[in-house]
A and B are shown apart, each in its own frame.
Chain A
C-alpha cells in the first residue's frame, strides 16, 4: 500500500514538477522560501493523494493543491504578499496584442510596471493572473478555483482592463 502510494507520488512529481515549480516561482522570489513552498505543496499532495479519485485532470488537481497551498503558506493569503512575474515578453501577451508590442524597448519597463500593478490586486485576482500566465484555459481556471467559467471570464476581463489602463497611463 505504502509502496504503491510512493510510486504514484513519484510519478505525479515527475510529470508535474515543472508546474509546481512555476507556481512557487510566482509567489516566492527568495530561493529558500521557494524551496519551502515547493516542499509544502509536496506534503499536501502526499496528504491528499488517497482522496484523488480522478474526477478532474491530474494537472487541475496539482494546480488546486499548489494554489491552495499558496494561500495557506506563511501568510500568502495576505493582500500584501507579492506575486512575482518573470520579465519575459510572453508574459505581456495575455494583456496586449501584437501591435501594441512594437515598442520593444519599453517591454522591460512595462513588465516592471505590470508586476507593480499586479501586486495591487486582491489575493484571488493575483491567483487568477498566475493561472492565466501559466497558460490555463478559462475552464481549467474555473475548475481550480471553484468558480463558474463565465464568472472567471468576467473577473479576468475586468483585471485585464484594469491592468491595461494602469499600464498605458
Chain B
C-alpha cells in the first residue's frame, strides 16, 4: 500500500482502522448508556414522587424525590449538549478557527461550567431531604441544613479537584492557544 511506502515506519493501518472503529462504537455505547440511565432515573424518581403523593408519604420524602428527578433530567440535558459539543470537534478547520474554539472550550468560566451547578444543586437538595434522617439532630431544619451543608462540602471538594485538573491539563493548552493567536494577530 502506498501509505506504507511513504511512511518508512512499520505502520499497521488495518489495526489502526479497527481500533478507531472500536473506539467509536465504545464511545457511542458509553454515552448512550449514560444518557439512558439519566432518562430512566428521572421519570423513575418522578414516579416515586407521585407514588408518595398517592400513599401519603411524608412531604419531606416527596420533595426529595422531586429534586432527584429534576437533577437527573438536568444532567441528561447537560450531558446531551456536552456530547454534541464533543462530537463537533473538527481538526479540518483552519488553524485560526481551531485555536479560537479551543480557547473557548478550555475556558474555566465556560457557560457550561455554570450550568453544571443546576443539576448539582438539585441533587444536593434531593439528598438533603431524603437522607436527613441519618443525621443525629432533633430539629428537622437542622438535619436538612447539615445534610445540605455536607453535600455542598463534598461538591465543593469535587469542584476543587476539577479546578486542579483544569489547571494541570486544560489551562496550559488554553494559554498556548492564546499565545499562538496573539502571534497570528487573531
Majority secondary structure of chain A interface residues (helix, strand, loop or mixed): helix
A149 within 8 A of B: no
A122 within 8 A of B: yes
A118 within 8 A of B: no
Interface residues of A (CB under 8 A from B): 2, 6, 9-10, 13-15, 17-18, 20-21, 31, 34-35, 38-39, 42-48, 51-52, 61, 64-65, 67-69, 71-72, 77-79, 122-125, 127, 143-147, 151
Set of chain B residues within 8 Å of A65, measured between Cβ atoms: 91-92
Give the interface centre of B5, B7, B8, B93 by most chain A CB atoms within 10 Å. Answer: B7
Q: With contacts defined as CB atoms under 8 Å apart, how many contacts are there between chain A and chain B in the complex?
A: 111
Is there an interface contact between A145 and B184, defined as CB atoms closer than 8 Å?
yes
B3 within 8 A of A: yes
The 6 closest A-B pairs by CB, nearest first: A146-B94, A146-B96, A17-B3, A17-B6, A77-B176, A44-B91
Contacts A46-B20, A72-B173 given; does A123 touch B179 at CB 8 Å:
yes
Within B1-58, which residues are at the interface with A (CB < 8 Å)?
A: 1-9, 11, 13, 16-17, 20-21
Bound-complex Cα distance A77 to B9 (A) = 25
Is there an interface contact between B95 and A125, defined as CB atoms closer than 8 Å?
no
Contacts A21-B6, A71-B180, A123-B180 given; does A151 touch B95 at CB 8 Å:
no
Bound-complex Cα distance A144 to B2 (A) = 24
